[in-house]
Structure 1
Amino acid sequence: MLQPFGSDLWLCDGPTVTGAAGFRFPTRMVVIRLPDDGGLWVWSPVAVSQELRAEIDALGPVRHLIAPNNLHYTFLAEWAAAYPLARVHAAPGLSETVAGTSIHHRLGNVPDPEWSDALDQVLVPGNRITTEIVFFHRDSSTVIVTDWVQQIPSGWFRGWRALVARLDLMTAASPSVPRKFRLATTDKTAARKAVQYILEWEPERLVFAHGAPRATDGLQTLRNAFQWLLR
């Protein structure tokens, strides 16, 4: 269930979800306890269970539910129903109809005042597939990426999907930006500016939705992943 990954930061791996063309993806949630009132900030929620709810409730009250791009919303409505006092924050492009729940706030480059003391964020623009918000948790020096960086384990996919995943760099030997996201980047100047902002955080740790988290070398891992855009 919840696994500590830094100061007031926990990870939770959830069930697989099925996307386009039958591709299955692992899921991961990040929970951060905010310093002001001990409220919880829940990023990319995974499936709700009684056991997980008990662990979450033991940490503190859920204040914020985060959909960091328009692809990561599968369990958002479940959490909104379970925690009706929590505010739902979503990246541009995710509608309430698709999410299945009310959206109280649209994420952008400016952190919400309720978490600005603990987290920084930047919107990565200029991509036809998705607009993603990348976050930085200061106390644990952790960057939180959703789909822009991936490293799904080799052998996760089978048959023709394994070939597509390998060619797309989803299962590359090191964390990488999938080729489909590179090709879908229509405004490289804007995307490059956002990535440079991320690198200025100089993170020690790195968490992404689809791949093993990195407790060290976060900055260098990101530099390597975005070399195609920065050169």
Structure 2
Amino acid sequence: MGRPLVSIITVVYNALPTLEATIQSVIGQDKELTEYWIIDGGSTDGSIDLIRKYEDQLAGWCSEPDKGIYDAMNKGINRATGDWLYFIGGDDTLRPNIIRTIEPYLKADYSIVFGEIMFDNGHLYRSFLGPRTILQNTVHHQSAFYNSSLFKHYRYDDTIKIVSEYDLHLRVYTKNKLTYYMPLIIADCATGGASSELSRSLKETNQVRTRYVKNKLKNNFLSMFLNLYYMQKAIRYFLYGHRV
């Protein structure tokens, strides 16, 4: 086989109850279009035995301590050979036949091609890049396919622990790179991931933005506005249990 269209990467740590559903949703995709890598952080809950159960259907896997989600993702990037990269968590699942469905949209002149995800609380999230991206991240990882050319001289900053993808999305947006939105649900995702840690997410979002918005007054205004937005998210979660 030649170069795969999409390298699918799962980074995981101690996710045994949900990992098998994730694996099955990936290996059920068109094998002519995909390769699948699993990067485990040294799980101790039986996840390794589960990965070994499926290893003949993987491009490869590893299990070793890491410095967090983005360090593990970088390990996956280093191994990937596909024209496009897609990241899926160990508690999320791809929609059936979605890779074959989106194949026509994955054109070489796009940097990111993204769609929608469905959270397990019924919330539909539509990714986009636009003026609001300057305020906060607007592309969900599980909705997005990344042109491998983005990673030729770039890796995620593993010192940013839960919103490092925001840095890449701001790079793409501020450099006016071509992107494409597909009106399709790509994956079903669990709520309560790392980015739902509101206080840390807020801090890191503001930290990343300062790399691209150099005007201090504008940055302070955006930080204040985002702080108010996150306050209402926290209140909504307290009242209704919405974690998205």
Q: Which structure's residues are more often helix, by fraction?
A: 2
TM-score (norm 2): 0.29
Q: Higher Cα Rg: structure 1 or 2?
A: 2
Higher relative CO (Cα under 8 Å, sequence separation at least 6) belongs to 2
- TM-score with structure 1 setting the length: 0.31
Structure number with higher strand proportion: 1
